[in-house]
Chains A and B, each alone.
Chain A
């Protein structure tokens, strides 16, 4: 059982790390601010989600598990809001110098 859970952790964390990698590639390859932010915010939030899923078997209590899932939800909430706000200033001011 423990081996299976550890395997789950490894698979999910590797998948999460891959999404962080993908986000960076998007950042380096996409042409302008808005598309870059789009790529990065999606990839990073998915990456963190997978890392959280992977770490769930490693925590020692249900409360700790709920806490790390809660952390992910908080990041989603504030990340989405901030991205939306920043995009709005970008639209107002243009890509800028």
Chain B
């Protein structure tokens, strides 16, 4: 069973990495940040699979930490972008 789980983790990582090669080329920054965030999903799957393979219960906490922080870079990116173009961020604020 452990062999199968490690194999699945390797397969998922390989798939996500293939996608990563495509998306790091761009065209825009937004695509790249999104790619980083989505690779997080594959990474969490791999961590969970490896944890189940080794039977180490604490790996779940690593996955939990990754899941909680997965989207932070994306949030920070959008925040920084909006701060640069203040006109756009205020459109929906209204008077």
Q: Which residues of A contact B (CB under 8 A)?
A: 6, 9-10, 13-14, 16-17, 20-21, 23-24, 27-28, 33, 36-37, 40-41, 44-45, 47-48, 51-52, 55, 58-60, 64, 67-68, 70-71, 74-75, 78-79, 81-83, 85-86, 88-90, 92-93, 95-97
Asked if residues A13 and B71 are in contact (CB atoms below 8 Å), the reply is no
- State the total of A-B contacts with C-beta under 8 angstroms: 151
Interface size on B, residues (CB 8 A): 46
Q: Which residues of B contact A (CB under 8 A)?
A: 1, 4-5, 8, 11-12, 15-16, 18-19, 22-23, 27-31, 33-35, 37-38, 40-42, 44-45, 48-49, 52, 57, 60, 63-64, 67-68, 70-71, 74-75, 77-78, 81-82, 85, 88
Known: A10-B4, A82-B37. A68 touches B63 (CB 8 A): yes
Residues of B within 8 A of A58 (CB): 1, 5, 52
Interface of B is mostly: helix
